[in-house]
Amino acid sequence: MDDKVLLGAVGEKDAVLAFKAIGIKSMPAQTAQEVQAAIHRLYREGVRVIFITEAAARLAPDMIERFDNDPALSIIPVPGTAGTDGYGERRVRENVLKAIGSDLFLDNDRKEGN
């Protein structure tokens, strides 16, 4: 049995080049259609973890939501070349809240003064 987890990256060309440099299957995508096609292709190729830039994730929210309950694929939003706008963190919060019923980040926000 092959225990190797295949990783992929989708998003702006400059952002995914960094992933490609460390051996991750990378697919530049700038339109909603390109993002959806990239996710489908990586999934068909056996990729089980996809890092997607926040900008790309915002272009295909329905596609990402579709895979939310698929245990064979994890789609993880990461900051792109323009930095973060908080989208990835909000998704993590929502998923943690859905999974355990509590916001684990709440105490850290209070400590940091947010």
Question: What digits encode the pLDDT tens for the residues 45-97?
Answer: 999 999 999 999 999 999 888 888 888 898 989 988 777 878 877 877 776 67
Domains of the chain by residue range: 7-84
| Tokens 């830039």 -> residue | 53
* Cα dihedral across residues 36, 42, 48, 51: positive or negative: negative
Q: Determine how many CB atoms are found less than 10 A away from the CB of residue 73.
A: 16
Q: What is the pLDDT of residue 99?
A: 63
Give 7-84's CATH code, choosing from 3.30.1490.100, 1.10.645.10, 3.40.50.10580, 1.10.3720.10.
3.40.50.10580
Q: Is the pTM of this model over 0.85?
A: no
Element (H, E) at 98: helix 87-100
Q: State the pLDDT at residue 89.
A: 77
Read off the pLDDT of residues 47-61 as tens digits, 9 standing for 90 and up: 999 999 999 999 999
**Measured distance between the N- and C-terminal CA atoms of the chain, rounded to whole angstroms:** 47
